[in-house]
Structure 1
Amino acid sequence: MKRELRRGGFTFKQFFVAHDRCGMKVTTDGVILGGWAPLLNGQRILDIGSGTGLLALMLAQRSEPQVMIDAVEIDRSAYEQALENVAASPWADRIQVFHQDIKDYAEHDHGGYDLIVSNPPYFPEGTECRDEARSTARYSHILTHHDLLIYAEKLLAVNGRFCVMLPCALGESLQQKALSMGWFVSRRTWVKDVVDKAPYIVLLELTRKPSVCDEQWLITHQPGRVSYTEQFTQLAKDFYLAL
């Protein structure tokens, strides 16, 4: 099984992620979110739109053995691939993958998640994608940000945190939507490739309780992109083979 999985995917230090049947592949951005999301003292984690299962696997590696992780994925092929990736990992007994629309999941789950993470859809309707799987993974008309916030609120514990990652303009839009719905931004991190470039994604940590925002910056590469920064190295060193 492991030999078959390694035909198309990404090898990390403690696990492998096959992504040949998923609309969204393993990316540096996904790794950033998986390393950035706070664990605190939580016991339950939810990954919305899990795709390959990358975030669930990263959070399983980072968390204590008693922490349980649920991953919800609507696309059949991605769900099946996430199942395979989880089964081949050291944490198969701690991660459950559900083939379900998050709307249906939220209606039947009682919530109480200490941490919810999502790398949500962000391409607006009308943007061309190569195939239906990629369309499902990326189009915001499949799961609107308003709906995402509604379901996260329903599923989050009182003191829980909801973490999302988006391109900057859409991240600011989601933030304004969240503030209008009674959320608070407890942490915001702008991500740049190199120091002299504009940020291209923003990571938001949202909570339902009043909070002062901790503003941060993350630069991934040294000038010339010849090597990673110390910031990124510290975030990814437990995962990337080369670090």
Structure 2
Amino acid sequence: MSQPQPPARAMLRKDGFTFKQFFVAHDRCAMKVGTDGVLLGAWAPVAGVRRILDIGCGSGLIALMLAQRTADDVSIDAVELERSAAAQAQENVAASPWAHRIAVHAQDIVSWSEQAEKRYSLIVSNPPFFTPGMASASVERDTARSTATLDHPTLLRCAAQLIEEEGLFCVVLPADAGEKLIALARAEGWHLRYRYDVAPYAQRPPNRLVLGFSPAAGELVQERLAIRDEDKSYSADWLSLVTDFYLFR
């Protein structure tokens, strides 16, 4: 039997991003589908997870990617403060193959962590990373990116309340913000278990860190990824990471 072919570029919708198994509309979200979210969704370790929490889910991108990568009995809660983004995330989830597994909650994570009765084996977040005063032209985008709405100490405390003893808390951040988070997390009793240094090109320094913390001590796994080779083509490592998601490589 012949395999279905991906849609032609001209047929792709303009209000979001088309992946192999799902579509993410993001026209009502301050933060659009981007490399950071795709990195975290494709990389986060999922072996043995039972319950997943996505903090600040935005359009629902990471939750959807993790649903694609996990078994049908894995449940996912996606929490988003901004109501317009939460509504669009819910629409994206409803249109996906995993609507029965993902629940979107329009709520701030502080309130959620105080009320939640579940604990999670995997928590993920593409968190805010700049401090108040570093404003852009968009109030909504500032809200999504600014630590004024969720600073990193608060994020770590909420994750600590919600994570299982052997669970993993994974984030993606710019390199400088990631280094600061490592120091802060260690001071709060977290153990760095995964460090993924991501560079835009093979011969350039990393500009992104994908990090995995756990309440439990253990060996640190450290890797490096270059998204593009020096000729500007995508690297084999990057293509391998996203091959289950991207239509065009």
Counterpart-to-counterpart distance in 2, 1:240 and 1:6: 15
Unaligned runs of 5+ residues in structure 2 are 1-11
Counterpart-to-counterpart distance in 1, 2:151 and 2:16: 29
Counterpart-to-counterpart distance in 1, 2:201 and 2:22: 28
- Determine the structure 1 residue equivalent to 2:38: 31
- Determine the structure 1 residue equivalent to 2:58: 51
- Determine the structure 2 residue equivalent to 1:61: 68
Please, which of 131, 147, 159 is the counterpart of residue 138 of structure 2?
A: 131
* 1:236 is aligned to 2:235: no
How much does 1:7 deviate? Answer: 4.0
Query: Quick one: percent identity of the two aligned structures?
Result: 48
Contact kept in structure 1, 2:36 and 2:126, CA below 8 Å:
no
TM-score with structure 1 setting the length: 0.96
Partner amino acid for 2:201? Answer: V
How much does 1:132 deviate? Answer: 2.0
* 1:164 is aligned to 2:176: no
Q: List 4+ stretches of structure 1 deviating above 6 A.
A: none
- Determine the structure 2 residue equivalent to 1:19: 26
* 1:183 is aligned to 2:190: yes
Partner amino acid for 2:31? Answer: M
Encode CA deviations 1:66-119: one digit per residue, 9 max, x unaligned.
Answer: 000000000011001101100111100100000000000000002310100000
Encode CA deviations 1:28-56: one digit per residue, 9 max, x unaligned.
Answer: 22111101101011110000000000000
Contact kept in structure 2, 1:111 and 1:154, CA below 8 Å:
no
Counterpart-to-counterpart distance in 1, 2:78 and 2:98: 13
Q: What aligned pairs does 1:191-206 form with structure 2 within 5 A after superposition?
A: 191-206=198-213
**Secondary structure class of the residue paired with 1:224:** coil
- Determine the structure 1 residue equivalent to 2:115: 108
- Determine the structure 2 residue equivalent to 1:77: 84
How much does 1:212 deviate? Answer: 2.1
- Determine the structure 2 residue equivalent to 1:150: 157
Cα RMSD between the aligned structures? 1.1
User: Alignment length, in residue pairs?
Assistant: 238
Counterpart-to-counterpart distance in 2, 1:156 and 1:235: 26
How much does 1:123 deviate? Answer: 1.5
Contact kept in structure 2, 1:70 and 1:96, CA below 8 Å:
yes
Partner amino acid for 1:114? Answer: S
